[in-house]
Amino acid sequence: MSVDFQRFESIRARRRSERRRWLSLLVALGAATVIVTALQVVGPTLPGWRDIVPFLSGGASLVHEARGRVDAIERETRTIRITSGFLGLTSVALVITEHTVIVVGEKEGGFGDIHHGEPVVAAYESGERPLRATRVEVLPAKPNGY
């Protein structure tokens, strides 16, 4: 074998090795994508899924805040919808549970103290659906009505 032929063979072998590495990486990424997609679709139907979700998401769920006006109140489901943003285009529906702290002015209140159109600030966790409020504070109305 000539020196040129040996050099050519070593270059071809190196390129084959690089192609195999890239192919292995792409196969691993594809398999991970399939697994994640399958868990998102089938996962919620599996028994014990609610116990696994906080572990997978890194522990505790994130606490968010909704600031705006009460747009709708559903007494049967104990749900309020808070609208905010430009022209009230952003909204969030929150379930009021027995563990939700409701503050009206300086005092603790109840679900019946929340009225349509009132300005509120609500804290809720984004861990699961439906979103559950942990705290709702009914703010005093400003003198000009806004």
Beta-strand pair 119-125/79-84: unpaired
pLDDT value at residue 58 = 55
Residue 84 CB partners (closer than 8 Å, separation 6+): 66, 67, 68, 69, 90, 91
User: What integer pLDDT is reported at residue 54 of this predicted model?
Assistant: 60
Peptide bond into 130 cis (omega under 30): yes
pLDDT at 17 over 70: yes
Mean pLDDT for the stretch of residues 23-33: 94
Average model confidence (pLDDT) for the chain? 83
Which band of pLDDT confidence, cut at 50, 70 and 90, is reported for residue 57?
A: low
75, burial (CB in 10 Å: exposed 0-12, middle 13-18, buried 19+): exposed
